[in-house]
A and B are shown apart, each in its own frame.
Chain A
Amino acid sequence: MHNFEFVKPSSVADAVSALAGEGAQALGGGQTLLPTMKQRLAAPEKLVSLSGLAEMTGVSSAGGVMTIGGATTHASVAADAGAYPGLAGLAAHIGDPAVRNRGTIGGSLANNDPSACYPAAALGSGATIVTNTREIAADDFFQGLFSTALDEGEIITAVKFPIPQASNYQKFVQPASRFALVGVFVARYADGVRVAVTGASEEGVHRWSAAEAALSANFSAAALDGLSVAADGMIADLHGTAAYRAHLVKVMTGRAVAAAS
């Protein structure tokens, strides 16, 4: 990979100022960024490490909202987010154990890989992405493949998840990468059900509004019976056709509803 300057700030404020320069990039757990840099597909001049910043680490719950620091690892969320079992279960199956010990929620959301798990949780929960400058609703945050509302140098310091009455994430894995070929996050709130889909669409993570409406009226897998997902706009690749992914969206949604707790 190209060489760069490694910077390890001791506070969010220091990190923000370190990121202000040209060619600087934030480093979360690096579980996606390092492989990308090895391929020389990313060549930051400066990497600003956010891992270990105490003010960005940890899981806490208050008033029905779970707040997770942006530098919290997947393993920590899996272990500490018991108050939100759908989210903890999702975190427990990202990557593999070693990846989960390094990868962070902030890094995953900022990257917005179209097959990543966390974007489905954030969108499916109607979460709020907290940065060093503002708060962004998940519905506004994800803007297509690898694209988000974040500005240059902006850091995800925390994510606030409203805790639902019931939730579940179903991932149908792509057999090689073990990312989601299709992943569906279902969360049932007092004011309705949210369904977010990852892995499937050429537009990245998105909500399935027809399912949300049907499930809000009747929270059971049977409520999906009359629905169908169009293959248009679905990803087609070596691992699945667009029609197959569209089919899986419905199957995985039904299973998530059935398993929601």
Chain B
Amino acid sequence: MTRVAMTVNGKAVTGEVEGRTLLSSFLREDLHLTGTHVGCDTSQCGACVVHVNGQAVKACTMFAAEAEGADVTTIEGMANADGSLGTIQQAFQDFHGLQCGFCTPGMVMSAAALLKENPTPTEAEVRAYLEGNICRCTGYHNIVKAILAASGQSVPAVAAE
């Protein structure tokens, strides 16, 4: 067992891990941050995306020991300080960018990374950036709209009432 220490969502945390303990397992099982999901074992679905030192990574494809000393942000760290939804989260709700919710944490984390790199992406750039995030429910239509809306760009509203 190895002792690891890192900052997760602004809080210093420590834990005892095996070499083989994945960052996703450490977050889910040791820290009980179960918002980070594991949807595949080939590093493709992206449900586990978190930020490590500000960069989007797949928490299922990184050992916990590799995050020693790192600053980690998960979906649980994305709401505003008062607990209200952050801009991207709110756009996902407003534009119905989620259905079953399983891929959603990874989608939000990838969207946040995209908008940091590229504050006003085109539709094509959003779609390209989501190459590593698979959603089976939404057909991506409303995810793409939500991300464009979160970037401050004008997109058509959801279905007229």
Contact = CB atoms under 8 A, between A and B. Distances in A.
Contact of B58 (A8, A47, A98): A98
Interface in A162-209: 177-178
Nearest to B17: A6
A97 B132 contact: yes
A38 B60 CA distance: 10
Interface in A1-39: 1-6, 8, 30-31, 34-35, 37-39
B97 interface: no
Given A6-B2, A97-B113, A35 B58 contact: no
B68 A8 contact: yes
29 contacts: A3-B18, A3-B19, A3-B20, A4-B19, A4-B20, A6-B2, A6-B63, A30-B62, A30-B63, A30-B66, A34-B22, A34-B43, A34-B61, A35-B42, A35-B43, A38-B41, A39-B41, A49-B65, A75-B55, A95-B131, A96-B44, A96-B46, A98-B49, A98-B56, A98-B132, A102-B61, A102-B62, A177-B44, A178-B44
A178 B131 contact: yes
B132 A99 contact: yes
Nearest to B129: A97
A96 B106 CA distance: 13
Contacts, number: 77
Given A31-B61, A97-B110, 10 more contacts: A4-B19, A8-B65, A34-B61, A35-B42, A96-B132, A98-B113, A99-B43, A99-B132, A102-B61, A102-B62
Interface residues of B, number: 29
Interface of A: 1-6, 8, 30-31, 34-35, 37-39, 47, 49, 51, 75, 95-99, 101-102, 177-178
